[in-house]
Amino acid sequence: MKFKKKILGIGAGYVGAPSMVMIASKCPDYKVTVVDINPERIAAWNSDRLPVYEPGLDAIVRKTRGRNLFFSTDVEAQIQENDIIFVCVNTPTKTFGAGAGMAADLQYWEKTARQILENSKTSKIVIEKSTLPIKTAQAMERILSSGKKNVSFDVLSNPEFMAEGTAVNDLENPDRVLIGSRETKSGLAARAALVEIYTRWLPREKIITSNIWSAELSKLVANAFLAQRVSSINSISALCEKADADISEVAHAVGTDSRIGAKFLKAGIGFGGSCFKKDILNLVYLCRFYGLPEVAAYWESVVRINEYQQDRFIANILRSMFNTLAGKKICVLGFAFKADTGDTRESPAIHITRKLLAEHAEVVISDPQALANAAADLAHEKGKISYVEDPYRAAAGCHALAVMTDWEAYRKLDYRKIYKSMVKPAFLFDGRNIVDHRKCFEIGFNVFPIGKPALTRF
């Protein structure tokens, strides 16, 4: 079959693969290829057991794979063959050298830029889909323009706003798609080529076009604003616990103001995931770099409140359980950073579990999707840890339950049955406020929600 366009995604991770899968699904006359340097990841994308758990994605992959969607490890050949390239490689926080712990590590991204340059025999549109510091496109352009004179590159910024667990819906019905480009003749033509892809399934009004630096910065700012809401509500949850107010009632009362809005006001043990912390720290680093220490400090506090919230949760467990956890068994219900994903990157559960182990507690971890990742995260921890998928078996014989992930299934557990199997007095620390607290108290638990008065018998 002769395809109308040939599109390449470099990086078959949580973002690269689902976003390319969606293009393949919506544009059957385009050939879409996804490459990665990790052969196991590519093998998994070509198998029946996909490497990421994302509701609804399997069905679309089954429909498109082998038709107009292909997964490959041959990065160089695919660069040669494709005219439109989405760069979706990872951009983690730097762990070494200048900017360690703050700045984005651009080594994977830069390797890709060089590979594109080396393997291009025809002109290409190169699209930044990874989240990158402002002005990265300029560096990309400099690398790409250092080669042959007869091949030209247009660099666009098209940041991705999907969230894990809802990726399919977010990609199919996004609030908006953002495309930043140079405002030159060829930059505008490249922008139009990308707009054409998205208008295959989205109305034109949903596609925002802007200058390239605004697009790069908007992605960091969108994540910073979302994380800021979580830290704002979490900071108020601490006050609620002191002053007998209820954070759910406060969030509802505040969020019904249409200027504020109801979303992202769920108090809990803090935000996790691979991006919020990384992107805010990147923003903080950029502000310092541009000589704006007050702005940097403002955004850094969002991360500090997130750490404070996790530490508060641990301190509350310790204090409530008579200031000793040594030898006690704690069941961690949920290890993924949010529901409907197996991803545990930056999950608050990692930090909290480490602290429980440091108190010499025995930890039993339960999660419907994230146990393999949890075991990898905790591989080097000392102490007693076990992994039990079934929550009833996990809780049996424990002194406390600590709910860390908002899995829907955890709302509906038979807490009476669980209570019976636990050591008394039994404690329930609801780090996501998803359990029926009053009912669990009546069953016999001592219940400690976030931002609400505790229900205890002591």
- Residue from 19, 131, 218, 282 binding ligand UGA (CB under 6 A): 131
Q: What's the rounded Cα separation, in Å, for the pair 306 and 227? A: 9
**Based on CB atoms, which residue is closest to ligand NAD, 16 or 348?**
16
Letter for the amino acid at 293?
A: P
The answer to whether 34 touches 16, Cβ cutoff 8 Å, is yes
Q: Judged by CB under 6 A, which of 64, 91, 181, 373 binds ligand NAD?
A: 91
Write out the two tokens for 237. 């949850």
Establish if 277 lies at the interface with ligand UGA (CB under 6 A).
no
Does residue 209 belong to the site contacting ligand NAD (CB under 6 A)? no
**Contact between 337 and ligand UGA per CB under 6 A:** yes
277, 334, 443 from 285: Cα distances, Å: 12, 32, 49
Report the candidate in 230, 238, 231, 171 with the shortest Cα–Cα distance to residue 206.
171
Q: In this structure, how many other beta carbons lie within 10 angstroms of the beta carbon of residue 424?
A: 11
**Binding partner at 306 among ligand UGA, ligand NAD, none, C-beta below 5 to 8 Å by kind:** none
Which of 111, 312, 354, 360 is the binder for ligand NAD (CB under 6 A)? 111
Establish if 222 lies at the interface with ligand NAD (CB under 6 A): no
The site partner of 338 among ligand NAD, ligand UGA, none (C-beta below 5 to 8 Å per kind) is ligand UGA
* Residue 89 host element (H or E): none
Least distance in angstroms from the C-beta of 42 to ligand NAD: 9
108 binds, among ligand UGA, ligand NAD, none (CB under 5 to 8 A by kind): ligand NAD
Residue 387, binding choice from ligand NAD, ligand UGA, none, Cβ under 5 to 8 Å by partner class: none
123 binds, among ligand NAD, ligand UGA, none (CB under 5 to 8 A by kind): none
Is residue 430 near ligand NAD by the rule CB under 6 A?
Answer: no
Query: Which of 10, 155, 179, 330 touches ligand NAD (CB under 6 A)?
Result: 10
Which range of residues in 30-38, 172-180, 352-360, 371-379 is near ligand NAD by CB under 6 A? 30-38
Question: CB 16 → ligand UGA: shortest distance, Å?
Answer: 12
Please state whether beta strands 385-387 and 362-366 pair in parallel, antiparallel, or not at all (unpaired).
Answer: parallel
Stretch that binds ligand UGA, among 59-67, 86-94, 273-281, 357-365 (CB under 6 A): 273-281
Q: Which is nearer to ligand NAD, 15 or 314 (CB)?
A: 15
* The dihedral sign for the CA sequence 18, 20, 23, 27: negative
The residue (of 163 and 455) whose beta carbon lies closer to ligand NAD is 163
Q: How far is CA 28 from CA 1, 12, 23, 66, in A?
A: 11, 20, 8, 11
Q: Is 298 in the site for ligand UGA (CB under 6 A)?
A: no
Among 9, 51, 272, 334, which residue interacts with ligand UGA (rule: CB under 6 A)? 272
From ligand NAD, ligand UGA, none, interface partner of 126 (C-beta below 5 to 8 A by class): none
Whole-number Å distance between alpha carbons of 257 and 303: 26
Which partner in ligand NAD, ligand UGA, none is near 88 (CB below 5 to 8 A by kind)? ligand NAD
**Tokens (6 digits) for 152:** 């030209």
Decide: 147 and 117 in contact? Cβ < 8 Å: yes
Using CB under 6 A, which of the segments 95-103, 108-116, 118-126, 332-340 binds ligand NAD? 108-116
| Overall residue count recorded for the chain in this entry | 458
Stretch that binds ligand UGA, among 30-38, 266-274, 320-328, 449-457 (CB under 6 A): 266-274
Q: Is 9 in a helix, a strand, or coil?
A: strand
Q: At what angle do helices 212-243 and 247-255 cross, to 10 degrees?
A: 140
Question: Which alpha helices (DSSP H) does 27-135 contain, by range?
Answer: 39-45, 57-64, 75-81, 107-119
Q: Which pairs with CB-CB distance under 8 Å and at least 24 residues apart come from 189-193? A: 189/154, 190/125, 190/154, 190/156, 191/156, 193/84, 193/125
Token pair for 131: 């989240």
Catalytic residues: 275
266 binds, among ligand NAD, ligand UGA, none (CB under 5 to 8 A by kind): ligand UGA
Interface mask toward ligand NAD for 45-84; x: CB under 6 A = ------------------------------x---------
Q: What is the DSSP string of 50-69?
A: -SS--TTHHHHHHHHBTTTE
Provide the binding-site residues for ligand NAD, judged by CB under 6 A. 10-16, 35-38, 41, 75, 88-91, 108, 111-112, 130-131, 160, 162, 164, 274-275
